[in-house]
């Protein structure tokens, strides 16, 4: 069972729905009724999308069933000894360089436990730790302090959404009866397990087969860069429909009107900051913007002439108006976000998997190809915790 096939089906079903939506939008904008051909296209696309969605459900159930069986029969479930880990690492290195045909029976078993993807190989703990560490370094959203959840399987996870900031306790006189409950505003977001991959990274055969070349470290960093970039993009601006919900998309629009048409001013940052409730602008609260916006803010001063941007000293990071900031270049030049990013949750399914390509498409170029993929999702669980401000005419210069 292939998670890549599931990804392809999801994308195809989404395309069917998007194409149908274009027909509806076009006719509505023109004030026209749907034609017979339009109705046929809509029916065909909706039916196609539904069939693909049903196939996805079947494939996902099959994947979970296979993984459940492996766990029940105890396939390599025992705690790994140092020797086991060493075998895994050496087998993985050999597989990267020479392919599966070069492995002996013990090495094949070491790299096949727990895989859920057709043709993929188990990534040993040493490589996975290095890869995940690099992902964390490269992710602006993780740097911002988002909460990370790691699960053993890809089942949907409902995460509670709670905002109790409008409720308070009460003072009772002796002998008084407590008032009825004041329920917090609750709901939930569903975290799924979307498949992200690095696309294929081609590497020269001569380089790979050079024993002195640190193949695991080099690939780990190259693959982490690609996956971190695509995940961060969706965790920042995703729509939440068939993809993660981006923090910019899901947070509260501050509704601030710019105090100047020529650019962002100190007053705009003050309004953004104090538009966030006090409980969300404590020590965990940060600013988030891209490099262009940061270059402009560095030139701003407060009402006393003190620069808003202050350099970091020792272990203290640089700050903007007393708060840490994170640069996220997946935001637009006009965007500034502020608040407590621990209310954004990133869910990852444990264990990235890899595929190695040595078919004729790569051999004729004297290359091997490598791809890594993992399942993840993200969403904001409290929209009041983060506010956004966007200046429609901001050009990277302060007013």
Asked if residue 287 belongs to a domain, the reply is yes
pLDDT higher than threshold 80 for residue 109: no
Instruction: Kindly state whether residues 232 and 272 are assigned to the same domain.
Output: yes
Asked if residue 53 belongs to a domain, the reply is yes
Going across the sheet that includes 285-289, the strands are: 252-253, 386-390, 335-340, 285-289, 323-327, 319-320, 309-310
Instruction: Kindly state whether residues 272 and 345 are assigned to the same domain.
Output: yes
Asked if residue 179 belongs to a domain, the reply is no
pLDDT band for position 9 (50/70/90)? confident
Instruction: Kindly state whether residues 374 and 230 are assigned to the same domain.
Output: yes
Asked if residue 170 belongs to a domain, the reply is no
Asked if residue 253 belongs to a domain, the reply is yes
pLDDT higher than threshold 90 for residue 385: yes
What is the pLDDT at residue 399? 43
Mean pLDDT of all residues in the chain? Answer: 83
Asked if residue 213 belongs to a domain, the reply is yes
Look up residue 88 and give its two tokens: 């895994």
Instruction: Provide mean pLDDT across the span 246-251.
Output: 96
Q: Which of 93-97, 177-181, 317-321, 363-367 has the lowest mean pLDDT?
A: 177-181
Instruction: Provide mean pLDDT across the span 9-31.
Output: 83
Asked if residue 50 belongs to a domain, the reply is yes
Question: How much is the pTM?
Answer: 0.72
Mutual angle of helices 3-30 and 36-72, in 10-degree steps? 160
Instruction: Kindly state whether residues 210 and 89 are assigned to the same domain.
Output: no
Count of C-beta atoms within a 10 Å radius of residue 152: 11
CA-CA-CA-CA torsion for 75, 79, 81, 86, nearest 10 degrees?
Answer: 60
| Selected residue with higher pLDDT from 375 and 187 | 375
Instruction: Provide mean pLDDT across the span 301-324.
Output: 89
Asked if residue 177 belongs to a domain, the reply is no
Instruction: Kindly state whether residues 92 and 141 are assigned to the same domain.
Output: no
Burial class (CB in 10 A: 0-12, 13-18, 19+), 83: exposed
What's the number of domains the chain is made of?
A: 3
Instruction: Kindly state whether residues 207 and 249 are assigned to the same domain.
Output: yes
Q: Which domain holds residue 91?
A: 83-113
Residue 264 · residue 391 · CB < 8 Å: yes
Instruction: Kindly state whether residues 310 and 280 are assigned to the same domain.
Output: yes
Instruction: Kindly state whether residues 142 and 274 are assigned to the same domain.
Output: yes
pLDDT digits (tens, 9 = 90+) for 200-247: 999 999 999 998 899 999 999 999 999 999 999 999 999 999 999 999
**What is the distance between the alpha carbons of residues 236 and 248, in angstroms, rounded to a whole number?**
6
pLDDT higher than threshold 80 for residue 298: yes
Instruction: Kindly state whether residues 350 and 392 are assigned to the same domain.
Output: yes
Instruction: Kindly state whether residues 265 and 386 are assigned to the same domain.
Output: yes
- H or E segment and range at residue 327: strand 323-327
pLDDT higher than threshold 60 for residue 48: yes
Instruction: Kindly state whether residues 14 and 152 are assigned to the same domain.
Output: no
What is the pLDDT at residue 65? 67
Instruction: Kindly state whether residues 140 and 26 are assigned to the same domain.
Output: no
Residue 325 · residue 290 · CB < 8 Å: no
Q: What is the CATH number of the domain that holds 266?
A: 3.90.1690.10
pLDDT digits (tens, 9 = 90+) for 204-213: 999 999 988 9
| Selected residue with higher pLDDT from 359 and 184 | 359
pLDDT band for position 324 (50/70/90)? very high
């Amino acid at each position: 069972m292939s998670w890549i096939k599931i990804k392809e089906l999801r994308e195809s079903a989404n395309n069917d729905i998007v194409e149908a939506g274009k027909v509806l939008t076009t006719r509505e904008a023109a004030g026209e009724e749907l034609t017979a051909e339009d109705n046929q296209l809509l029916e065909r696309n909706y039916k196609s999308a539904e069939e693909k969605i049903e196939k996805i459900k079947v494939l996902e159930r099959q994947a979970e069933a296979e993984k459940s069986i492996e766990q029940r029969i105890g396939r390599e479930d025992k705690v790994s000894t140092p020797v086991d880990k060493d075998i895994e690492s050496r087998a993985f290195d050999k597989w990267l360089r020479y392919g599966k045909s070069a492995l002996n029976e013990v090495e094949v078993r070491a790299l096949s436990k727990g895989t859920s993807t057709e043709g993929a190989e188990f990534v040993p703990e040493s490589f996975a730790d290095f890869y995940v560490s690099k992902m964390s370094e490269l992710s602006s959203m993780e740097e911002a302090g988002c909460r990370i959840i790691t699960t053993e399987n890809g089942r949907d996870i409902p995460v509670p959404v709670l905002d109790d900031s409008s409720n308070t306790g009460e003072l009772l006189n002796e002998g008084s009866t407590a008032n009825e409950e004041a329920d917090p505003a609750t709901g939930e977001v569903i975290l799924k397990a979307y498949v992200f991959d690095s696309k294929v990274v081609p590497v020269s055969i001569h380089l790979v087969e050079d024993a002195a070349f640190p193949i695991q470290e080099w690939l780990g960093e190259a693959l982490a860069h690609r996956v971190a970039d695509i995940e961060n993009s969706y965790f920042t601006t995703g729509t939440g429909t068939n993809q993660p919900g981006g923090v910019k998309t899901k947070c509260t629009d501050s509704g601030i009107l710019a105090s100047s048409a020529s650019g962002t001013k100190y007053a705009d940052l003050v309004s953004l900051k104090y538009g966030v409730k006090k409980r969300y602008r404590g020590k965990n609260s940060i600013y988030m913007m891209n490099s262009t916006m940061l270059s402009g803010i560095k030139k701003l001063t407060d009402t006393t002439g003190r620069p808003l941007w202050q350099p970091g000293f020792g272990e203290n990071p640089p700050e903007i108006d007393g708060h840490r900031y994170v640069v996220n270049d997946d935001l637009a030049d006009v965007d500034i976000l502020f608040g407590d990013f621990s209310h954004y949750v990133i869910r990852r399914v444990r264990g990235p998997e890899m595929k190695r390509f040595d078919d004729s498409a790569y051999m004729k170029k004297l290359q091997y190809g490598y791809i890594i993929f993992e399942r993840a999702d993200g969403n904001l669980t409290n929209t009041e915790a983060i506010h956004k401000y966007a200046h429609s005419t901001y050009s990277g210069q302060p007013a």
